Amino acid sequence: MHIHILGICGTFMGGIAMLAKQAGFKVTGSDLNVYPPMSDELKAAGIELTEGFDVAQLDEKPDLVVVGNVMKRGMEIVELLLNEKIPFVSGPQWLEEHYLCNKTVLAVAGTHGKTTTSSMLTWILEKNGRDPGFLIGGIPENFGISARNTKSEFFVIEADEYDCAFFDKRSKFVHYHPTVLIMNNLEYDHADIFDSVADIQKQFHHLVRTVPGRGLIIYPNDDENLKAVVEMGCWTQTAVIGDEKGLHAKLLKQDGSVFEIYNGSEYVGKVNYECTGTYNVHNSLMAIKAASYVGIALPDAAAALESFRLPKRRMENKGTVKDVTVYDDFAHHPTAIRLTLEGLRAKVGDNTKIIAVFEPRSNSMKLGANHDMLAASFKSADLIFVYASPAVKWDVRALEKQSEKPLHVFFDFDKMLEAIIAQCSPHTSVLVMSNGGFNGIHQKLLTKLESL
């Protein structure tokens, strides 16, 4: 079968392309911007790419067109699909019908931590001989790729609540039909498609309805929004994480890099790994519990995490110059920002200056969703710089008055860069947070520091 993917260069659609190619499908695709690293990965796999959405790319008459959610009504190629009755599906639907139907799916959903928890779970399965396939919305460092097809029955997927396509406004994850479901947390996000937490909870409950009774749903004991989802109706066995009656952790180092795990009063094991932050302890417990469903003993699952490496862009150390370390993190929601900064503070201690650099780039942040929580989320930093592009639709300068710590808003990227450099001194950590490339700020900071 020949599938042609519209919008192929995003992490999710690119992952589908890789899975399809590895599974024996003929795969071609196009995107408005065909650029590395995804374009290089796809070309190396033998996938033919077209830049742009010219209708001529369909002259080859693929058997099926897989439509990414970047595609909109009114685009010439979309109108051609509809007018000529060319068969098309969304990416999640293709996965459901042509791939996941043959797998035991372990899905990781939630507002925060999906990529890290999915990567942890995949690594636990790998280290314990399960040879899992996976599709993750980032690049897990232990594997170096975002998607992999294997002969194993087990498949780990990062289960996103964003919508599928212009013709299917349900969350992607309703197509995955997991046997094991991790619901990591639930907060308001994606303001461009959801009006309230209740809207998101409705989609999560659609997901809960798809998990078989013999499966397992895992969620934390302290998330009221998820408890409400389960109370809407649940037909599957559940496991609550963090409660002392079940799987929980005791920190041995305050930064969360070393901790003991207990199952009730029973000692499971100790984890000593490269991650920091209590949120990663939470992610670890979720992954360990999910792995236990497929027969991996809790101590063996915990031991696998000793060699776990965080995915790219999750507290990624981009370099150290003159005792100034630059980190890159994907955090773009106030809760994620707060937890990431708390983890860094616990790691470096009180004698290191932390400079937080933030770009409100997600759709929610550009629209101003959760902006009332934003200033307080930086409290673990000593100094904050916020870059507001013209796409931001709210008064970002208000943060300067709301913040307890010195916070400076810039509309000129180069001026902000110079201001950051002026504040860098020995024993400084610069944490850059954005869900985009942020104008290559990480390397620009390191280069300027070298030249001082």
Q: What is the pLDDT of residue 1?
A: 92
Q: What is the pLDDT of residue 36?
A: 65
Same fold, 99-307 and 316-451: no
Which residues lie across from 416 on neighbouring strands? none
- Complete edge-to-edge strand list for the sheet that includes strand 88-90: 48-51, 26-31, 2-6, 64-67, 88-90
Measuring CA to CA, which residue among 373, 307, 359 is closest to residue 330? Answer: 359
Q: What is the mean pLDDT of each run of 10 residues along the chain (452 residues)?
A: 93 91 93 76 88 93 94 96 96 95 96 92 97 91 90 96 93 96 89 86 96 97 95 96 92 92 95 89 96 96 93 81 88 82 86 91 76 86 91 84 89 91 90 84 88 80
CB-based contact 392:366 (threshold 8 Å): yes
Dihedral Cα 244, 247, 252, 257, nearest 10 deg: -140
- Convert 266-292 to b/e letters by CB count within 10 Å (16 or more is b): eebbbbebebbbbbbbbbbbbbbbbbb
Q: What is the pLDDT of residue 34?
A: 74
Q: Which strand (E) or helix (H) includes residue 117?
A: helix 114-127
Q: What is the pLDDT of residue 223?
A: 93
In CATH, what number does 99-307 get?
A: 3.40.1190.10
In CATH, what number does 316-451 get?
A: 3.90.190.20
Residue with tokens 């009730």: 264
- The token duo for 199 is 């809207």
In the chain, domain spans: 2-90, 99-307, 316-451
* CATH entry 3.40.50.720 includes domain 2-90: yes
Name the CA radius of gyration of the chain, rounded.
22
Q: What is the pLDDT of residue 129?
A: 96
Q: What pTM was computed for the model?
A: 0.84
Q: Which strand (E) or helix (H) includes residue 154?
A: strand 154-158
